[in-house]
Amino acid sequence: MLADYLPILVMLLVALFVAVFVIVLSRYLGPQRPTRRKLMPYESGMEPIGPGQRRFPVKFNLVAMLFILFDIEVIFLFPYALVYKQLGVPGLAAMGVFFVVLVIGMIYEWRRGALEWE
């Protein structure tokens, strides 16, 4: 049964070989005349400003978490949209419960100030 997946393995190996081969080849065959400007991090031709890895506010973390929450809500809505007629009233009730749970979370984060930027 595993033999069915052999082509995928071969494909993976070929892809790996091509990528590594090209990089190694250009490393050894290409002419290398480094200048200060060439070694600089590429920032669309501008002079780089500040360090490459910058710190950013932890608030983004919170936003990302809330995003995942509502993202999952939407993912759950798509299959429901396809079958809501067949599911009828019980389906509507089930989705209603699902939404109430989400709204409770929403109210909670709102009151606790998770949506305020400052």
Partner 1 sequence: MTEITIPPIDWRVATQLCIIFGWASVLLIIALFVPRSRIRVVGYLAIAGLVVAAGAGIPFWGGSAETFGGMLRLDTYSMMLNWLFLAAAAVVIAYSLNYLPKHGIEHGEYYVLVLFATAGMMLLAQGGDLIVLFLGLELLSLTLYVLTGFAYPRETSEESGMKYLLTGAFAGGFIVFGIALIYGATGSLNLAAIGDTLARAALAAEDRTYLYAGAALIVTGFGYKIAMAPFHMWAPDVYEGAPTPVAAFLSVGSKAAGFAALVRFLVEAMGSQWPVWAPALATLAIATLLLGNIGALIQNNVKRMLAYSSVGHAGYMLLGVLAAGAPGGMAGQRGVEAVLLYLLAYMLTNLGAFGVLIALEQRGELTWDINQFAGLWARRPLLASAMAICLLSLAGVPPTAGFWGKFYVFTAAWQAGFGWLTIIGILTAAIAAFYYVRIVVQMFTAEPSRETPAETDPALRAGLVIAIAGILVLGFMPAPAIDLVQRSVLATVGGQ
Distance CA 60, CA 56 (A): 8
- C-alpha 49/C-alpha 46 separation (Å) is 9
108 binds partner 1 (CB under 8 A): yes
Q: Three-state DSSP class for 42? A: coil
Judged by CB under 8 A, which stretch of 16-24, 35-43, 67-75, 107-115 contacts partner 1?
107-115
In this structure, are residues 81 and 95 in contact, taking their beta carbons and an 8 Å threshold? no
Residue 19 near partner 1 by CB under 8 A: no
Give the range of 1-9, 17-25, 50-58, 82-90 binding partner 1 by CB under 8 A. Answer: 82-90
**Contact predicate 69/102, CB 8 Å:** yes
- The single-letter code of the amino acid at 57 is P
Check if the beta carbon of residue 62 is closer than 8 Å to that of residue 114. Answer: yes
Residue 90 binding partner 1, by CB under 8 A: yes
Residue number with CB closer to partner 1 (39 or 58): 58
Q: Which of 112, 116, 117, 118 binds partner 1 (CB under 8 A)?
A: 112
Which residues sit at the interface with partner 1, rule CB under 8 A? 83, 86-87, 90-91, 100-101, 104, 107-108, 111-112
